[in-house]
Protein backbone atom coordinates (compact mmCIF):
# COMPACT_ATOMS: atom_id res chain seq x y z
CA UNK A 1 0.00 0.00 0.00
CA UNK A 2 1.17 3.47 -0.80
CA UNK A 3 1.13 6.11 1.91
CA UNK A 4 -2.12 7.86 2.64
CA UNK A 5 -2.43 11.51 1.71
CA UNK A 6 -3.22 12.26 5.35
CA UNK A 7 -5.76 14.93 4.54
CA UNK A 8 -9.10 15.32 6.24
CA UNK A 9 -12.44 15.37 4.45
CA UNK A 10 -14.64 18.44 4.58
CA UNK A 11 -17.62 18.10 6.93
CA UNK A 12 -20.55 17.14 4.71
CA UNK A 13 -23.28 19.72 4.24
CA UNK A 14 -26.86 19.24 5.42
CA UNK A 15 -29.95 21.31 4.71
CA UNK A 16 -30.52 24.45 6.80
CA UNK A 17 -34.12 23.24 7.23
CA UNK A 18 -37.30 25.30 7.61
CA UNK A 19 -36.31 26.85 10.95
CA UNK A 20 -32.98 28.34 9.86
CA UNK A 21 -34.27 31.70 11.14
CA UNK A 22 -33.99 30.57 14.76
CA UNK A 23 -30.22 30.44 14.49
CA UNK A 24 -29.39 33.03 11.85
CA UNK A 25 -32.12 35.67 12.18
CA UNK A 26 -33.76 35.04 15.57
CA UNK A 27 -35.29 38.51 15.86
CA UNK A 28 -36.97 38.01 12.46
CA UNK A 29 -38.81 34.94 13.76
CA UNK A 30 -39.81 36.45 17.10
CA UNK A 31 -36.99 35.28 19.36
CA UNK A 32 -36.20 38.61 20.96
CA UNK A 33 -33.76 39.51 23.69
CA UNK A 34 -30.97 37.09 22.81
CA UNK A 35 -29.10 39.19 20.21
CA UNK A 36 -29.57 42.98 19.95
CA UNK A 37 -30.19 42.69 16.19
CA UNK A 38 -29.98 40.11 13.44
CA UNK A 39 -26.51 39.77 11.97
CA UNK A 40 -26.14 41.06 8.42
CA UNK A 41 -29.32 43.15 8.53
CA UNK A 42 -27.43 46.41 7.89
CA UNK A 43 -24.59 46.61 5.36
CA UNK A 44 -24.36 50.38 5.02
CA UNK A 45 -24.48 53.45 7.25
CA UNK A 46 -24.64 57.22 6.65
CA UNK A 47 -20.93 57.41 5.80
CA UNK A 48 -20.73 54.50 3.34
CA UNK A 49 -19.21 55.59 0.03
CA UNK A 50 -20.72 54.74 -3.32
CA UNK A 51 -24.01 54.56 -5.16
CA UNK A 52 -26.83 53.35 -2.91
CA UNK A 53 -28.85 50.57 -4.45
CA UNK A 54 -31.51 48.11 -3.39
CA UNK A 55 -31.66 44.45 -4.36
CA UNK A 56 -35.01 42.70 -4.57
CA UNK A 57 -34.29 39.00 -4.78
CA UNK A 58 -36.65 36.03 -4.86
CA UNK A 59 -35.90 32.29 -5.05
CA UNK A 60 -38.33 30.19 -7.11
CA UNK A 61 -38.74 26.41 -7.11
CA UNK A 62 -39.30 24.10 -10.08
CA UNK A 63 -42.96 25.11 -10.34
CA UNK A 64 -42.19 28.86 -10.21
CA UNK A 65 -43.40 29.17 -6.61
CA UNK A 66 -41.36 31.58 -4.46
CA UNK A 67 -39.62 30.03 -1.46
CA UNK A 68 -40.87 31.57 1.77
CA UNK A 69 -38.36 29.81 4.01
CA UNK A 70 -35.05 30.47 2.25
CA UNK A 71 -32.15 32.55 3.49
CA UNK A 72 -29.78 34.49 1.27
CA UNK A 73 -26.33 35.79 2.14
CA UNK A 74 -24.47 38.19 -0.14
CA UNK A 75 -20.79 39.07 -0.28
CA UNK A 76 -19.40 41.91 -2.36
CA UNK A 77 -16.65 44.47 -2.80
CA UNK A 78 -17.11 48.11 -1.82
CA UNK A 79 -17.64 50.90 -4.33
CA UNK A 80 -13.89 50.94 -5.11
CA UNK A 81 -13.77 47.20 -5.73
CA UNK A 82 -12.09 46.31 -2.40
CA UNK A 83 -13.27 43.50 -0.13
CA UNK A 84 -13.62 44.15 3.60
CA UNK A 85 -11.61 41.02 4.39
CA UNK A 86 -8.15 40.10 5.71
CA UNK A 87 -7.59 38.37 2.34
CA UNK A 88 -7.80 41.75 0.59
CA UNK A 89 -4.17 42.74 -0.01
CA UNK A 90 -4.68 45.67 -2.43
CA UNK A 91 -5.72 48.26 0.13
CA UNK A 92 -8.18 49.09 2.88
CA UNK A 93 -11.85 48.74 2.07
CA UNK A 94 -14.42 51.34 3.13
CA UNK A 95 -14.64 50.89 6.94
CA UNK A 96 -18.29 51.91 6.79
CA UNK A 97 -19.23 49.03 4.54
CA UNK A 98 -19.35 45.42 5.73
CA UNK A 99 -19.62 43.81 2.31
CA UNK A 100 -21.69 41.01 3.80
CA UNK A 101 -25.43 40.83 4.28
CA UNK A 102 -28.01 38.25 5.29
CA UNK A 103 -31.75 38.29 4.57
CA UNK A 104 -34.47 35.66 5.01
CA UNK A 105 -37.17 35.54 2.34
CA UNK A 106 -40.40 37.14 3.54
CA UNK A 107 -42.77 34.50 4.97
CA UNK A 108 -45.68 35.93 2.91
CA UNK A 109 -44.14 37.24 -0.31
CA UNK A 110 -40.84 35.42 -0.59
CA UNK A 111 -38.98 38.69 -1.13
CA UNK A 112 -35.46 39.45 0.14
CA UNK A 113 -34.63 43.16 0.16
CA UNK A 114 -31.01 44.28 0.63
CA UNK A 115 -29.78 47.86 0.90
CA UNK A 116 -26.21 48.13 -0.26
CA UNK A 117 -23.89 49.96 -2.64
CA UNK A 118 -23.03 49.04 -6.18
CA UNK A 119 -19.69 47.20 -6.07
CA UNK A 120 -16.61 48.31 -7.98
CA UNK A 121 -14.73 45.95 -10.26
CA UNK A 122 -12.49 43.23 -8.80
CA UNK A 123 -9.55 41.61 -10.62
CA UNK A 124 -9.77 38.09 -12.01
CA UNK A 125 -6.87 35.66 -11.54
CA UNK A 126 -4.97 37.07 -14.53
CA UNK A 127 -5.34 40.67 -13.33
CA UNK A 128 -8.05 41.65 -15.84
CA UNK A 129 -11.16 43.14 -14.27
CA UNK A 130 -14.33 41.16 -13.67
CA UNK A 131 -17.64 42.96 -14.21
CA UNK A 132 -19.27 44.34 -11.03
CA UNK A 133 -20.97 41.46 -9.28
CA UNK A 134 -22.36 40.27 -5.95
CA UNK A 135 -21.85 36.71 -4.71
CA UNK A 136 -25.02 34.98 -3.52
CA UNK A 137 -25.25 31.96 -1.21
CA UNK A 138 -28.69 30.42 -0.81
CA UNK A 139 -29.84 27.89 1.78
CA UNK A 140 -33.31 26.53 2.58
CA UNK A 141 -35.36 23.49 3.41
CA UNK A 142 -34.89 21.06 0.51
CA UNK A 143 -31.46 22.48 -0.42
CA UNK A 144 -28.87 19.94 0.73
CA UNK A 145 -25.81 22.09 0.05
CA UNK A 146 -25.77 25.90 -0.17
CA UNK A 147 -26.14 27.19 -3.72
CA UNK A 148 -23.55 29.65 -4.99
CA UNK A 149 -24.23 32.09 -7.80
CA UNK A 150 -23.58 35.71 -8.79
CA UNK A 151 -25.72 38.74 -9.48
CA UNK A 152 -24.49 41.00 -12.30
CA UNK A 153 -26.06 44.32 -13.31
CA UNK A 154 -28.17 45.06 -16.42
CA UNK A 155 -26.63 48.54 -16.84
CA UNK A 156 -23.08 47.16 -17.10
CA UNK A 157 -23.42 45.69 -20.57
CA UNK A 158 -19.89 46.45 -21.68
CA UNK A 159 -18.25 45.06 -18.52
CA UNK A 160 -20.53 42.03 -18.56
CA UNK A 161 -19.52 41.31 -22.16
CA UNK A 162 -15.88 41.06 -21.05
CA UNK A 163 -16.43 39.18 -17.78
CA UNK A 164 -14.34 35.99 -17.60
CA UNK A 165 -16.90 34.02 -15.56
CA UNK A 166 -19.85 34.94 -17.77
CA UNK A 167 -17.64 34.03 -20.74
CA UNK A 168 -17.36 30.48 -19.37
CA UNK A 169 -21.07 29.83 -19.85
CA UNK A 170 -21.29 27.62 -22.93
CA UNK A 171 -25.04 27.98 -23.42
CA UNK A 172 -25.26 31.74 -24.04
CA UNK A 173 -29.03 31.64 -23.61
CA UNK A 174 -28.37 31.07 -19.89
CA UNK A 175 -26.23 34.19 -19.34
CA UNK A 176 -29.25 36.44 -18.62
CA UNK A 177 -30.13 34.27 -15.60
CA UNK A 178 -27.27 36.03 -13.79
CA UNK A 179 -28.19 39.60 -14.72
CA UNK A 180 -30.41 41.68 -12.43
CA UNK A 181 -32.74 44.20 -14.09
CA UNK A 182 -32.40 47.83 -13.03
CA UNK A 183 -35.62 49.62 -12.06
CA UNK A 184 -34.74 53.07 -10.68
CA UNK A 185 -32.36 52.48 -7.77
CA UNK A 186 -33.49 48.85 -7.41
CA UNK A 187 -32.16 45.74 -9.08
CA UNK A 188 -34.66 42.91 -9.41
CA UNK A 189 -33.30 39.37 -9.49
CA UNK A 190 -35.17 36.07 -9.55
CA UNK A 191 -33.20 32.92 -8.79
CA UNK A 192 -34.78 29.89 -10.51
CA UNK A 193 -33.69 26.71 -8.77
CA UNK A 194 -34.90 24.46 -11.57
CA UNK A 195 -36.56 24.41 -14.97
CA UNK A 196 -36.32 26.29 -18.25
CA UNK A 197 -35.05 29.52 -16.69
CA UNK A 198 -32.76 27.71 -14.25
CA UNK A 199 -30.10 30.04 -12.81
CA UNK A 200 -26.46 29.15 -13.43
CA UNK A 201 -25.02 27.85 -10.14
CA UNK A 202 -21.29 27.56 -9.48
CA UNK A 203 -18.85 25.02 -8.15
CA UNK A 204 -15.89 27.15 -7.14
CA UNK B 1 -8.34 45.65 6.79
CA UNK B 2 -10.78 44.62 9.51
CA UNK B 3 -9.85 42.97 12.79
CA UNK B 4 -9.50 39.29 11.91
CA UNK B 5 -9.95 37.79 15.37
CA UNK B 6 -6.57 36.09 14.92
CA UNK B 7 -2.90 36.99 14.91
CA UNK B 8 -2.15 34.63 12.05
CA UNK B 9 -1.10 36.14 8.71
CA UNK B 10 -4.07 35.85 6.37
CA UNK B 11 -3.81 33.20 3.68
CA UNK B 12 -4.87 34.08 0.17
CA UNK B 13 -4.63 30.83 -1.81
CA UNK B 14 -7.55 29.19 -3.58
CA UNK B 15 -9.46 26.48 -1.73
CA UNK B 16 -9.25 22.77 -2.46
CA UNK B 17 -12.10 21.74 -4.71
CA UNK B 18 -15.18 20.37 -3.03
CA UNK B 19 -15.77 16.61 -3.25
CA UNK B 20 -19.40 16.66 -4.26
CA UNK B 21 -19.62 12.86 -4.07
CA UNK B 22 -18.94 13.19 -0.33
CA UNK B 23 -21.52 15.91 0.24
CA UNK B 24 -25.18 15.05 -0.35
CA UNK B 25 -26.22 15.73 -3.96
CA UNK B 26 -28.87 18.39 -4.64
CA UNK B 27 -31.52 15.83 -5.60
CA UNK B 28 -32.27 13.23 -2.89
CA UNK B 29 -35.87 12.12 -3.65
CA UNK B 30 -36.28 10.38 -0.27
CA UNK B 31 -36.13 13.91 1.15
CA UNK B 32 -39.18 15.14 -0.73
CA UNK B 33 -38.66 18.89 -0.65
CA UNK B 34 -35.36 18.45 -2.50
CA UNK B 35 -37.24 17.35 -5.63
CA UNK B 36 -38.44 20.81 -6.70
CA UNK B 37 -35.57 22.70 -5.05
CA UNK B 38 -32.61 21.01 -6.77
CA UNK B 39 -30.97 22.35 -9.93
CA UNK B 40 -31.20 19.94 -12.86
CA UNK B 41 -28.38 21.47 -14.87
CA UNK B 42 -24.69 20.98 -14.13
CA UNK B 43 -22.83 23.46 -11.92
CA UNK B 44 -20.40 25.84 -13.65
CA UNK B 45 -16.91 25.10 -12.35
CA UNK B 46 -14.08 27.61 -12.05
CA UNK B 47 -11.11 28.11 -9.77
CA UNK B 48 -11.63 30.58 -6.93
CA UNK B 49 -11.29 34.27 -7.68
CA UNK B 50 -10.82 36.89 -4.97
CA UNK B 51 -14.63 36.93 -4.62
CA UNK B 52 -14.55 33.38 -3.22
CA UNK B 53 -11.14 33.58 -1.49
CA UNK B 54 -12.13 36.57 0.64
CA UNK B 55 -14.85 36.53 3.26
CA UNK B 56 -16.33 38.51 6.14
CA UNK B 57 -14.86 38.46 9.64
CA UNK B 58 -16.66 38.96 12.92
CA UNK B 59 -15.12 40.41 16.06
CA UNK B 60 -15.61 39.56 19.72
CA UNK B 61 -17.32 42.92 20.25
CA UNK B 62 -20.52 41.57 18.72
CA UNK B 63 -20.82 38.71 21.20
CA UNK B 64 -22.95 38.90 24.32
CA UNK B 65 -21.97 37.17 27.55
CA UNK B 66 -24.57 34.39 27.21
CA UNK B 67 -24.40 33.91 23.44
CA UNK B 68 -22.75 30.50 23.91
CA UNK B 69 -25.08 29.38 26.71
CA UNK B 70 -28.45 28.21 25.39
CA UNK B 71 -29.43 27.00 28.87
CA UNK B 72 -29.54 30.61 30.04
CA UNK B 73 -29.60 33.04 27.09
CA UNK B 74 -33.41 32.97 26.81
CA UNK B 75 -34.23 31.97 30.39
CA UNK B 76 -35.91 34.17 32.96
CA UNK B 77 -33.54 35.42 35.68
CA UNK B 78 -32.64 32.58 38.05
CA UNK B 79 -34.22 29.92 35.83
CA UNK B 80 -32.81 27.60 33.18
CA UNK B 81 -33.93 25.43 30.27
CA UNK B 82 -35.31 21.95 30.94
CA UNK B 83 -33.45 18.92 29.56
CA UNK B 84 -30.24 16.96 29.52
CA UNK B 85 -27.53 19.55 30.19
CA UNK B 86 -24.64 19.17 27.77
CA UNK B 87 -21.51 20.94 26.58
CA UNK B 88 -20.73 20.69 22.89
CA UNK B 89 -17.06 21.27 22.19
CA UNK B 90 -14.61 20.69 19.37
CA UNK B 91 -12.37 22.38 16.86
CA UNK B 92 -12.85 24.04 13.52
CA UNK B 93 -10.01 22.70 11.36
CA UNK B 94 -9.40 22.62 7.64
CA UNK B 95 -8.63 19.67 5.38
CA UNK B 96 -4.92 20.13 6.12
CA UNK B 97 -5.65 19.61 9.82
CA UNK B 98 -4.88 23.24 10.63
CA UNK B 99 -7.07 25.01 13.21
CA UNK B 100 -9.21 27.79 11.78
CA UNK B 101 -9.18 30.63 14.32
CA UNK B 102 -11.54 33.55 14.74
CA UNK B 103 -14.49 32.19 12.76
CA UNK B 104 -18.14 32.61 13.66
CA UNK B 105 -20.16 29.51 14.53
CA UNK B 106 -23.93 29.76 14.94
CA UNK B 107 -26.17 26.97 16.23
CA UNK B 108 -29.89 26.34 16.49
CA UNK B 109 -31.99 23.48 17.74
CA UNK B 110 -35.30 22.24 19.13
CA UNK B 111 -35.87 21.97 22.88
CA UNK B 112 -35.62 18.76 24.92
CA UNK B 113 -39.05 17.65 23.66
CA UNK B 114 -38.28 18.25 19.98
CA UNK B 115 -40.23 21.54 19.68
CA UNK B 116 -38.79 24.57 17.87
CA UNK B 117 -39.55 28.12 18.90
CA UNK B 118 -40.85 29.02 15.42
CA UNK B 119 -44.36 29.88 14.35
CA UNK B 120 -44.22 27.35 11.52
CA UNK B 121 -43.61 24.48 13.98
CA UNK B 122 -46.98 23.03 15.00
CA UNK B 123 -45.72 19.93 16.84
CA UNK B 124 -47.81 19.22 19.95
CA UNK B 125 -44.80 18.95 22.28
CA UNK B 126 -44.77 22.15 24.35
CA UNK B 127 -42.37 25.08 24.18
CA UNK B 128 -40.02 25.55 27.12
CA UNK B 129 -40.51 29.12 28.41
CA UNK B 130 -36.80 29.21 29.30
CA UNK B 131 -35.41 27.98 25.99
CA UNK B 132 -34.96 29.99 22.80
CA UNK B 133 -32.76 27.65 20.78
CA UNK B 134 -30.07 29.90 19.26
CA UNK B 135 -26.43 30.45 20.14
CA UNK B 136 -23.13 31.61 18.64
CA UNK B 137 -19.44 31.84 19.40
CA UNK B 138 -16.06 32.51 17.76
CA UNK B 139 -13.38 29.83 17.41
CA UNK B 140 -10.22 30.38 19.47
CA UNK B 141 -6.62 30.64 18.30
CA UNK B 142 -6.40 26.84 17.79
CA UNK B 143 -9.87 26.64 16.22
CA UNK B 144 -11.44 25.42 19.48
CA UNK B 145 -15.01 26.28 20.42
CA UNK B 146 -17.57 25.26 23.01
CA UNK B 147 -21.13 26.02 24.02
CA UNK B 148 -23.61 24.87 26.62
CA UNK B 149 -27.13 23.71 25.84
CA UNK B 150 -29.71 21.00 26.49
CA UNK B 151 -29.81 17.91 24.30
CA UNK B 152 -32.56 18.37 21.69
CA UNK B 153 -35.32 15.80 21.32
CA UNK B 154 -36.23 13.99 18.10
CA UNK B 155 -39.35 15.20 16.28
CA UNK B 156 -41.73 14.04 13.57
CA UNK B 157 -41.88 15.85 10.24
CA UNK B 158 -44.15 15.70 7.22
CA UNK B 159 -42.03 13.81 4.71
CA UNK B 160 -42.96 10.13 4.75
CA UNK B 161 -46.02 9.21 6.82
CA UNK B 162 -43.91 8.35 9.88
CA UNK B 163 -40.55 10.12 9.56
CA UNK B 164 -38.72 11.34 12.65
CA UNK B 165 -35.60 13.44 12.68
CA UNK B 166 -32.81 12.16 14.93
CA UNK B 167 -31.77 14.50 17.73
CA UNK B 168 -29.62 17.14 16.04
CA UNK B 169 -28.13 20.60 16.34
CA UNK B 170 -27.84 22.78 13.23
CA UNK B 171 -24.44 24.44 12.69
CA UNK B 172 -23.59 27.41 10.50
CA UNK B 173 -19.85 28.04 10.09
CA UNK B 174 -17.89 30.78 8.37
CA UNK B 175 -14.30 30.15 7.37
CA UNK B 176 -11.75 32.73 6.27
CA UNK B 177 -13.10 32.72 2.71
CA UNK B 178 -16.70 32.79 1.53
CA UNK B 179 -16.04 29.54 -0.39
CA UNK B 180 -15.70 27.77 2.98
CA UNK B 181 -19.22 28.76 4.02
CA UNK B 182 -20.97 25.70 5.41
CA UNK B 183 -24.23 24.72 7.07
CA UNK B 184 -24.55 21.23 8.49
CA UNK B 185 -26.15 19.23 11.30
CA UNK B 186 -24.60 17.46 14.28
CA UNK B 187 -26.02 14.12 15.39
CA UNK B 188 -25.48 12.20 18.63
CA UNK B 189 -23.53 8.96 18.95
CA UNK B 190 -25.72 5.88 19.24
CA UNK B 191 -29.02 7.42 18.06
CA UNK B 192 -30.85 4.69 16.09
CA UNK B 193 -32.86 7.31 14.17
CA UNK B 194 -29.73 8.54 12.35
CA UNK B 195 -29.75 5.60 9.91
CA UNK B 196 -33.45 5.91 9.08
CA UNK B 197 -33.49 9.65 8.34
CA UNK B 198 -33.98 10.67 4.67
CA UNK B 199 -32.03 13.90 5.23
CA UNK B 200 -29.06 12.01 6.68
CA UNK B 201 -29.32 9.33 3.99
CA UNK B 202 -28.91 11.93 1.29
CA UNK B 203 -25.24 11.41 2.17
CA UNK B 204 -24.03 8.30 0.33
CA UNK B 205 -20.92 7.43 2.32
CA UNK B 206 -21.29 5.94 5.80
CA UNK B 207 -17.99 7.52 6.83
CA UNK B 208 -19.36 10.95 5.92
CA UNK B 209 -22.41 10.37 8.12
CA UNK B 210 -20.12 9.30 10.95
CA UNK B 211 -18.22 12.56 10.47
CA UNK B 212 -21.42 14.38 11.50
CA UNK B 213 -21.96 12.24 14.59
CA UNK B 214 -20.68 13.73 17.84
CA UNK B 215 -19.14 11.40 20.39
CA UNK B 216 -19.72 11.38 24.13
CA UNK B 217 -16.72 13.16 25.64
CA UNK B 218 -16.52 12.29 29.30
CA UNK B 219 -13.27 14.24 29.75
CA UNK B 220 -15.08 17.47 28.95
CA UNK B 221 -18.03 16.88 31.25
CA UNK B 222 -18.50 19.00 34.33
CA UNK B 223 -19.17 16.59 37.19
CA UNK B 224 -22.60 16.99 38.78
CA UNK B 225 -23.47 19.60 36.11
CA UNK B 226 -23.28 18.70 32.41
CA UNK B 227 -22.31 15.86 30.06
CA UNK B 228 -20.23 16.71 27.00
CA UNK B 229 -20.08 15.82 23.31
CA UNK B 230 -17.13 16.42 20.99
CA UNK B 231 -17.81 17.63 17.46
CA UNK B 232 -15.02 18.72 15.11
CA UNK B 233 -15.86 20.62 11.95
CA UNK B 234 -13.64 20.38 8.87
CA UNK B 235 -13.64 23.22 6.35
CA UNK B 236 -12.05 23.28 2.90
CA UNK B 237 -8.26 23.50 2.96
CA UNK B 238 -6.37 25.85 0.70
CA UNK B 239 -3.44 26.04 -1.65
CA UNK B 240 -0.58 28.50 -1.28
CA UNK B 241 -1.09 32.12 -2.18
CA UNK B 242 -2.47 33.32 -5.46
CA UNK B 243 -0.57 36.57 -5.10
CA UNK B 244 2.92 35.21 -4.57
CA UNK B 245 5.30 34.56 -7.44
CA UNK B 246 3.19 31.78 -9.01
CA UNK B 247 0.13 33.31 -10.58
CA UNK B 248 -1.80 30.08 -10.56
CA UNK B 249 -0.89 29.05 -7.02
CA UNK B 250 0.00 25.38 -6.70
Task: Give the pLDDT confidence of B177-214 residue by residue, as tens digits.
Answer: 999 999 999 999 999 999 999 999 999 999 999 999 99
Share of residues in chain B with pLDDT > 70 (%): 93
Read off the pLDDT band of B168 (50, 70, 90).
Answer: very high
Selecting from B121, B179, B248 the residue whose C-beta is nearest the C-beta of A19 gives: B121
Mean pLDDT of chain B: 94
Q: How far does the CA of residue A78 sit from the closest CA of chain B (Å)?
A: 12
Position B8 scores a pLDDT of: 67
DSSP string, B60-72: GGG--TTTTBTTT
- Residues A66 and B204: their CA atoms lie apart, in Å, by 29
Enumerate the residues of chain B whose CB falls inside 8 A of the CB of residue A13.
23-24, 182-184
Read off the pLDDT band of A100 (50, 70, 90).
Answer: very high
Identify the active-site residue in B155, B187, B229, B236: B155
Judge whether B167 and B154 are in contact, CB under 8 Å: yes
Enumerate the residues of chain B whose CB falls inside 8 A of the CB of residue A10.
18-19, 22-23, 95, 182, 234-236
Cβ–Cβ contact B116 with A under 8 A: yes
- What residues form DSSP beta bridges with B241? B13
Position A5 scores a pLDDT of: 85
Dihedrals phi, psi of B179, to nearest 5 degrees: -70, -15
Selecting from B28, B41, B53 the residue whose C-beta is nearest the C-beta of A198 gives: B41
Active site residue B23: no
What are A176-194's pLDDT values in tens digits?
A: 999 999 999 999 999 999 9
Position B250 scores a pLDDT of: 43
Position B55 scores a pLDDT of: 97
Mean pLDDT of chain A: 97
Rg of chain B on CA atoms, in Å: 19
Cβ–Cβ contact B233 with A under 8 A: yes
Least confident stretch, A3-7, A164-168, B88-92, B193-197: A3-7
- Residues A30 and B105: their CA atoms lie apart, in Å, by 21
Position B245 scores a pLDDT of: 47
Residue B249 has pLDDT above 70, yes or no: no
Read off the pLDDT band of B6 (50, 70, 90).
Answer: low
Position B240 scores a pLDDT of: 76
- Residues B233 and B69: their CA atoms lie apart, in Å, by 19
Return the closest-CA partner of residue A168 out of A142, A139, A136, A203. A203
Active site residue B31: no
Mean pLDDT for A28-50 is 96
What are A158-171's pLDDT values in tens digits?
A: 999 999 999 999 99
Position B31 scores a pLDDT of: 98
Q: Would you tell me which residues 63-102 of chain A have a C-beta closer than 8 angstroms to some C-beta of chain B? A: 63, 67, 69, 73, 75, 77, 83-89, 92-93, 95, 98-100
Read off the pLDDT band of B116 (50, 70, 90).
Answer: very high
Measured over the CA atoms of residue A19, residue B57, residue B66 and residue B189, the dihedral's sign is: positive
Read off the pLDDT band of B243 (50, 70, 90).
Answer: low
Q: Would you mind telling me the total number of residues written for chain A in this entry?
A: 204
Read off the pLDDT band of B242 (50, 70, 90).
Answer: low
Residue A138 has pLDDT above 50, yes or no: yes
Q: Which of A19, A70, A82, A86 to mutate to test the interface with B (most CBs of B within 10 A)?
A: A86
Position B96 scores a pLDDT of: 94
Q: Which of B8, B39, B198 to mutate to test the interface with A (most CBs of A within 10 A)?
A: B39
What are A53-97's pLDDT values in tens digits?
A: 999 999 999 999 999 999 999 999 999 999 999 999 999 999 999
Enumerate the residues of chain A whose CB falls inside 8 A of the CB of residue B114.
none
Return the closest-CA partner of residue A72 out of A115, A38, A40. A40
Q: Which of A7, A15, A16, A30 to mutate to test the interface with B (most CBs of B within 10 A)?
A: A15
Q: B14 in helix, strand or coil?
A: strand
- Residues B109 and A184: their CA atoms lie apart, in Å, by 41
Position B7 scores a pLDDT of: 66
- Residues B130 and B148: their CA atoms lie apart, in Å, by 14
Least confident stretch, A1-10, B96-105, B154-163: A1-10
Active site residue B123: no
Read off the pLDDT band of A1 (50, 70, 90).
Answer: confident
Q: ∠ CA(A191), CA(A78), CA(B102), 5° rounding? A: 90
Q: Would you tell me which residues 75-94 of chain B have a C-beta closer than 8 angstroms to some C-beta of chain A? A: 93-94
Amino acid sequence: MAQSLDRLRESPSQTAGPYVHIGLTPNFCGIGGVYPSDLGAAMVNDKTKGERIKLHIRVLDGTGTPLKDALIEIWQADAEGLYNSPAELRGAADPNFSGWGRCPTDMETGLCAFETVKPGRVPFRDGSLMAPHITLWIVARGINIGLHTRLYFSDEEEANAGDPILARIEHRVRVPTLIAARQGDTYVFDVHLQGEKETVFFDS
Amino acid sequence: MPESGSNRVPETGAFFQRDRTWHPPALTPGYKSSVLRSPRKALLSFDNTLSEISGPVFGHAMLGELDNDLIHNFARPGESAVGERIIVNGRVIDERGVGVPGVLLEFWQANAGGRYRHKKDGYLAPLDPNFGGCGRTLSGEDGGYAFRTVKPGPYPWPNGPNDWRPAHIHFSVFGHGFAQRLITQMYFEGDPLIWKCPIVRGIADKAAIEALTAVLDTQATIPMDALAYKFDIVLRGRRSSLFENRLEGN
